[in-house]
Structure 1
Amino acid sequence: MRTARGVTARELGLLIVGACLVSIVMHWPLILHLGDDIPRDLGDPLAQAYQIAWDGHALIHQPLHFFDANQFWPFGDSLAFSDALIGYAPAAVFGTGPHAAVVRYDLMFLFAYALAFAGAYLLGRELGLGPGAAAVVGAAYAFAPFRLEQDGHMQVISSGGVPLALALGIRGYRRQRPWWVIVAWVIATWQLLLGFTLGLPLAYLLVALYLTGAIVWWRRGRLPIPRGLAVATVVGALLFIGTGIALSRPYLHVADAHPNARRTPEDVEEFAAPPWAYLVAPEENFVWGDATKPIRDSLGNVPEETLFPGLAILVLAIAGLGSSVFPRWLRVALGVAIAVLAVLAMGFHGSGIVAYLWPYRWVYEVLPGWQAIRVPGRLDTFTALGLALLAGAGLERLLAWIRTRGGAIAWRGGAALAAACVLVVLIEGRGLPFDPFDTQAQPTLRPAPRSVASVPAPQLHLPAERPSDNRRYVLWSTDDFPKIVNGRSSLNPAWTARLIHRERNFPDRASVRRLERLGVRSVVLHTTRVKHTPWEDAAEKPVSNLPLTRYREGDLTIYVLRGTR
C-alpha cells in the first residue's frame, strides 16, 4: 500500500473550506433560509430539531436528568424514545425558541454532510490515496444516492464520525502517536452519542478490527507494543465502552417500561428491503428518480428501502478491486465486507425457518443490541464507505494510467479527470450544483404561534391525533420547555395515544375530570389546526359549568383547569 504524503495544514484548511462549500452548494439554497426552511420534509426533522434543542437545554439546566425531556409527560426518560443526538448538545447551548432550533438544525444538517465528506477524504488519504482520489471517496460516501432519501433522519446522515475515527486511529497506530489514538476514540464516542443507529454497528466494526489486528499481531510473533499506544488504546476503549453503558441505561429503562420499545421480528421485517431495492433511487434523484419509479412503486416502505449506491460509484469501485494503490488483502477485505453488509442491510423476510436463511436474522437473535434496531437498511452507510474507498482506488488506477504518458499534459489530465469524477458522483447522488431545477425538497416552516411558556404546565395540546401536529408542538415547546403530554418519537407510548383518544370530547365534564386526576393543568387548542379533527367545534363549546378558565391568545384557545394545583 502506498503511503500518502502527510496531510499538511494547508491541505486540511482547504479540505474544511471545500467540504463546507460542497455541502452548501449541493443543498442550495438552504443556507439563505436558515430557520425558515428545513431539509427534506416537515416530518421527523421537526422532532429532531426539538431533540437537539432539548440536548442543549438539559446540558445546562438538568445534566443529571438529561433524558427526562419535557415531552410525553408524565413519563421519564422520554428522550430515550428515539436516538437522542446528544453529540450535538454543545451546539444547542446557544439560542432559544423554535426559530433558533430550526436554524441550529439546518446548520447541523449542512455540517453533517461536510463532516462526512471530510472524514471520508481523510480516511482515503491515510490509506494511501492522493488528493483527487480522496475527494472521490468523500463525495461517494457523503453523497451516495440512497442518502438523499435519508435526509429526514439526522441520526443517519450524521455519519462523518465513522471514517474520521478510522482515519485518525490508523494515523495514530502507523505513526505510533498515542494522542491520535485517543482522539480517534473520542471521535468514535462522539459518533456513538449521536445514536445507536450507527453507533452500534460502529462498535461491532471496531471489535472486528481490533480482533483482526490481535490475530495478525499474534501470528507475526507478538512483537512488542509501545507502552503509549497500549495505554491509549485501553483508555480510549474504556471511554467508548463506558459511554455506551451509560447511554444504554435510559434505553434499557424504557424497554422495561414499554415492551413495544423492543423491535419484534415483525417490526424488522416491515422495514426489510428486497434485493431489487439496490436498483431504487429516491424519487427526487436528478438522474435516476424517474427511471427507477416502477421498481420504487413496488416497495412497501420507500424511505427505508431505497438502497441504490450509484452507478458511477459502482463502476469506479469495480475498477478499484484491481488497483495496486491498496494491497490485495485490503481490496479483498473491502470487497467481502461490502458483500456481507449489502446482504445484512436487506434484513430478513418470511417466518419460521425461512427467516433464518437471511443472515440478519442471526444477527438480530444472537448479537446484543440488535433487537433495538428497527431498520436494517441503515447499515448501507457502512456499505457506502467500503464502496467509496474502492471508488477512490479505482480513480487512482485510471490516474496511474494517465501518468504513464508523462509531462504537464498528463498532470493536467489527471486533475481534470479527478474533478470530473467528483462532479459526476455529486450530480448522480444529489443533482446539479445550486439545484437550478428545484428538485430538492426544502419546505418552508410556518412561524410558531404565540408563546405558551407562561401557561401552567403540564399542558395538553389539541388536536393531537396526527403526527404532524405533535411534531410541531414539541418544536414549539422549545420556548422554555414546559412539560407537555404530547410528543413524537420512534416510540410513541400507547398510554398517551389512549389518553388523547379519550379527550376527543374536550371540553366536557368527563374529559376535564380525567385531566384533573392526571395533574394536567392546561389545555391549548390550536384553532388553525382543528379542521377535520374531533376538536373542530371545541372552541365554541360552552364551559360555564366546567372547573376551568378559558381565554384566547391569537389563534390559540387556552383552558386553565382550576381543579389542579
Structure 2
Amino acid sequence: MVGIAGLVVTLGFYWRIVIDLRSTVLFDLGDPLLQAWELAWQRHFLFNGGDFWTGNIFGGTENNFAFTDSLLGYLPFSLIGGSGPADAILRYNLAFIFAATLAFIGGYMLVRQLGGTWHAAALGAVVFAWAPWRLAHVHHLNLLSTGGIALALFALARGHGFSLRHGFRPELARPGWAVAGWLIAAWQVTIGFATGLPFVYVLGVIGVALLVVMLRKRKQISRRLWIADGVGAVAFLTVTLLMTLPYLRVVELYQFTRTLGELQTYSPPPQGLITTSHFSWLWSDTAFTAWTWDMEPAPWEKWIFPGLVLLVFAAIGLAFSAWPRKVRLVLASGVVVSAILALGTSFFHGTFTYLLLWKFLPGWDALRTPGRLILWTTLLLLLLAAGAVTKLAQSLARKHKQRLVALVMILPAVGALAEAVPVFPYAHPPAMPEGLQQEFEKPGPVVILPMDLTGDSIPMLWSTKDFPILANGNTGNYPKNWTELTAATKAFPSSRSIEALEKHNVRRVIVVKSLVEKTPYARSLIRSVDGLPLTKTETRDIVVFTLR
C-alpha cells in the first residue's frame, strides 16, 4: 500500500511527463538530457560491450563517463525500450518516477522501524520524497535518488533490532535484514557520489558506533549477526572502492579540481534555509520566495528550505516526543551541525566547519555544492517531527476513537504534501534534424554547432541510436579538447577554428540551423569559406562542413 500511495502521488506530481513519457522532460534540456544519455549509454554497453567508462562524447576521451555521477545503479532500466532518443527519454522518465516513489517508501519504512506510528511515517514519506528544497532539483535525477539511503538505514536498524524508542535490542536482531541494509547502501553508492560520498561517511560513523555497541553487548550478539555484518560491510566497502577507481583515474588523467572560489559561489547564504523555489505551488510569491532570484548563479543549489510543517513539528518534538530525551538532543545537535555544513563557506567563511571536511576528508574536495547536505538536515528534522506526531497520536488514542485520531494525525502529512505540490516547467527535446542520422553513420568524430555547456545535451540525446563519436559533451567536468574546441568554433569557419579541429582530429562540423538561430553561431551559416580547406554541403535542416 505504501508503494502504491507513493506511486500515485508521484504520478500526480509528474503528470506532465506521465502523459508524454517519450518526448517530455521536466525543467529544461540540460541535465535531464545528459542523464537520459547516461542511461542510454548503459544500454548500449549492455548490448554491445566496449569500455563502459568511455562514452562517445568529448571525442571519446578516456573515462569521460566518470566526469559526473554514473547512475550505474539504474542499469536494470537499460532493458526498457530500445535505442534512439525517444526510448532514452522514456527510460529516463521511468527512472525518475521510480526514484521519487522509492524515496517515499524509504521515508515511511525508516520512521516505522524507528518506532513511529503510521501517521508519523506518512509525514516521513512525504518529506523525504518531496521536501520543498527537492523541487529545485527536479532536473537532477542523481540527487533525487535518495530512497536507497532511507531503505538502507531502515534495513540496518531492523537487522540490529534498533529503534529510537527502545534503543538496541539484540534479541530482535535479524541478520538477513542487516545484510540487506549493507547491500542497499552499496546500491545507493552506485548511483553517484554527489549524495553517495556523504552517505559513505555517515555510514562509517554509524558502523563504528554499531561496532562499539556490539562489542559491549557481545554476549547477547548472535554469531549469525556478526557474520552478516562482516559479509555486508565487506560487500559495501568493495563496491565503494570499485566505484571510486574510475573517478580516481579521471583525476589522474585530467587533474580536475574544485576551487575555493567555486565552493564560495555555490554556498547558500543563511536566508537560503528559509527560501524555496518558485516551483512550489503553495509558497510561490510568498515570503519563502522573497530571495529566490537573489542567489545567482545556480540559485537552485541555494534554495534549501526543508518545509514549514516539518520545522513546526520538529520544534514540537524537541519538548514533546515519543523519543527519549537523549535521542532528541542527539537529533537536534545533528540538525544544527548539518545545517551549518549545508551553508558551506557562508557560515563564518566555513573556516571551522565545512572547510575542515573539504580539506581533510578524502574525496570531499570534489564536492562544490554544500547546500545538498540539507538532505541530512531534513532527515534529522523528519525524525524529530516523527517523535512529536507519534506522541500526539498516542495521547489522542487514549481519549478518542481510532478513526478520529487517524483523521487528525494525518494532517501533518497532508500539510507537508501541500507544500510539495509542484508547478514544474517542462520541455520537449527537438527532433533530430533530417540528414543528421546519415552524417552520424559516417566514421570519425564530429562537432555539432552550437557547442556549449547545456546545448551539448541535445546532440548527446540525438546520438543515442548508434553512439557516433561527438566532440560535444555536457557533464560536471570538461576536458581540455572540449574547452579549446568550444572557444575556437565560436568563430567558425575561420583559420583558427580549423587549426583547433585538425589538432583534435575532427574532420566534420555540422551546424543545426534551428539551434543556432539568434545565437552567435548563426554567423557560421553566412561566413565565407573561400580560401579555407572546407567543403560545404547544405540541406533544409543542417549545414555540413568537411575538412579537405
Q: Name the TM-score, length of structure 2 as normaliser.
A: 0.91
Report what 1:427 is aligned to: 418
Among the aligned pairs, what percent are the same residue? 33
Per the alignment, in what secondary structure is the counterpart of residue 113 of structure 1?
helix
Report what 1:263 is aligned to: 258
Q: Check the 8 A contact 1:349/1:358 in 2, yes or no.
A: no
Superposition map of 1:324-363 within 5 A: 324-349=321-346, 355=349, 357-363=351-357
Superposition map of 1:268-283 within 5 A: 268-283=263-278
**1:431-460 deviation digits (Å, cap 9, x = unpaired):** 5xxxxxxx3212233323242431333111
Instruction: Letter of the 1:86 partner, please give it.
Output: L
Report what 1:5 is aligned to: none
**1:82-102 deviation digits (Å, cap 9, x = unpaired):** 111111122024321111111
Q: Check the 8 A contact 2:397/2:405 in 1, yes or no.
A: yes
Per the alignment, in what secondary structure is the counterpart of residue 457 of structure 2?
helix
Instruction: Letter of the 2:275 partner, please give it.
Output: V
Q: Check the 8 A contact 1:319/1:397 in 2, yes or no.
A: no
- The yes-or-no answer on 1:67 pairing with 2:63 is no
Report what 1:47 is aligned to: 34
Q: Name the TM-score, length of structure 1 as normaliser.
A: 0.89
Report what 1:434 is aligned to: none
- The yes-or-no answer on 1:56 pairing with 2:43 is yes
**1:335-386 deviation digits (Å, cap 9, x = unpaired):** 2211111111111149xxx635441111111111100111011011111111
TM-aligned CA deviation for residue 479 of structure 1: 1.8
- Go from structure 1 to structure 2 and tell me whether the alpha carbon gap of 1:74 and 1:481 turns closer, same or farther (over 3 Å shift): closer
**1:141-198 deviation digits (Å, cap 9, x = unpaired):** 1111111111111111111100001111111222433222222112111110111011
2: distance between equivalents of 1:396 and 1:176?
Answer: 23
- The yes-or-no answer on 1:239 pairing with 2:235 is yes
TM-aligned CA deviation for residue 511 of structure 1: 4.1
- Go from structure 1 to structure 2 and tell me whether the alpha carbon gap of 1:514 and 1:265 turns closer, same or farther (over 3 Å shift): closer
Paired residue for 1:374, among 368, 374, 396?
A: 368
Per the alignment, in what secondary structure is the counterpart of residue 490 of structure 1?
coil
Residues 551-560 or 37-46, more deviating: 551-560
Report what 1:184 is aligned to: 181
Paired residue for 1:27, among 2, 9, 14?
A: 14
Per the alignment, in what secondary structure is the counterpart of residue 440 of structure 2?
coil
- Go from structure 1 to structure 2 and tell me whether the alpha carbon gap of 1:128 and 1:40 turns closer, same or farther (over 3 Å shift): same
Report what 1:228 is aligned to: 224
Per the alignment, in what secondary structure is the counterpart of residue 461 of structure 1?
strand
Instruction: Letter of the 2:160 partner, please give it.
Output: Y
- Go from structure 1 to structure 2 and tell me whether the alpha carbon gap of 1:29 and 1:469 turns closer, same or farther (over 3 Å shift): closer
Paired residue for 1:499, among 464, 467, 485?
A: 485
Q: Check the 8 A contact 1:82/1:489 in 2, yes or no.
A: yes
Report what 2:212 is aligned to: 215
Instruction: Letter of the 1:363 partner, please give it.
Output: L
Residues 206-215 or 531-540, more deviating: 531-540
Report what 1:129 is aligned to: 116
2: distance between equivalents of 1:375 and 1:257?
Answer: 23
Instruction: Letter of the 1:272 partner, please give it.
Output: S
2: distance between equivalents of 1:228 and 1:340?
Answer: 36
1: distance between equivalents of 2:500 and 2:200?
Answer: 46
2: distance between equivalents of 1:298 and 1:544?
Answer: 48
- Go from structure 1 to structure 2 and tell me whether the alpha carbon gap of 1:475 and 1:316 turns closer, same or farther (over 3 Å shift): same
Per the alignment, in what secondary structure is the counterpart of residue 223 of structure 1?
helix
TM-aligned CA deviation for residue 540 of structure 1: 4.9
2: distance between equivalents of 1:463 and 1:356?
Answer: 39
Report what 1:364 is aligned to: 358
Report what 1:401 is aligned to: 395
2: distance between equivalents of 1:280 and 1:513?
Answer: 48
Report what 1:415 is aligned to: 406
What is the aligned residue count? Answer: 532
**1:403-437 deviation digits (Å, cap 9, x = unpaired):** 1214xxx2111221233322210111235xxxxxx
2: distance between equivalents of 1:185 and 1:214?
Answer: 14
Paired residue for 1:305, among 287, 290, 302?
A: 302
**1:228-264 deviation digits (Å, cap 9, x = unpaired):** 22222122222221222221122112222323x2212
1: distance between equivalents of 2:350 and 2:337?
Answer: 15
TM-aligned CA deviation for residue 544 of structure 1: 8.1
Per the alignment, in what secondary structure is the counterpart of residue 559 of structure 1?
strand
Instruction: Letter of the 1:245 partner, please give it.
Output: L
Report what 2:522 is aligned to: 536
Residues 443-452 or 249-258, more deviating: 443-452
2: distance between equivalents of 1:233 and 1:214?
Answer: 10
Report what 1:198 is aligned to: 195
2: distance between equivalents of 1:511 and 1:269?
Answer: 34
TM-aligned CA deviation for residue 272 of structure 1: 0.8
Report what 1:252 is aligned to: 248
Instruction: Letter of the 2:425 partner, please give it.
Output: A
2: distance between equivalents of 1:99 and 1:122?
Answer: 35
Q: Check the 8 A contact 1:164/1:184 in 2, yes or no.
A: yes
- The yes-or-no answer on 1:86 pairing with 2:77 is no
5+ residue gaps, structure 2, are: 162-171
- The yes-or-no answer on 1:473 pairing with 2:484 is no
Report what 2:164 is aligned to: none
TM-aligned CA deviation for residue 509 of structure 1: 5.9
Q: Check the 8 A contact 1:347/1:358 in 2, yes or no.
A: no
Report what 1:459 is aligned to: 446
Report what 1:166 is aligned to: 153
- Go from structure 1 to structure 2 and tell me whether the alpha carbon gap of 1:252 and 1:34 turns closer, same or farther (over 3 Å shift): same
2: distance between equivalents of 1:329 and 1:226?
Answer: 27
TM-aligned CA deviation for residue 132 of structure 1: 2.2
Paired residue for 2:424, among 420, 425, 440?
A: 440
**1:65-119 deviation digits (Å, cap 9, x = unpaired):** 2110111114211111111111112202432111111111111111111110101
2: distance between equivalents of 1:359 and 1:542?
Answer: 57
1: distance between equivalents of 2:147 and 2:217?
Answer: 35
**1:7-52 deviation digits (Å, cap 9, x = unpaired):** xxxxxxx111111111111222321111222112222112121122
2: distance between equivalents of 1:108 and 1:159?
Answer: 13
TM-aligned CA deviation for residue 221 of structure 1: 5.0
5+ residue gaps, structure 1, are: 1-13, 432-438
Report what 1:149 is aligned to: 136
Report what 1:286 is aligned to: 281
Residues 477-486 or 312-321, more deviating: 312-321
2: distance between equivalents of 1:231 and 1:221?
Answer: 16
Per the alignment, in what secondary structure is the counterpart of residue 285 of structure 1?
coil
Instruction: Letter of the 1:123 partner, please give it.
Output: L
2: distance between equivalents of 1:230 and 1:124?
Answer: 25
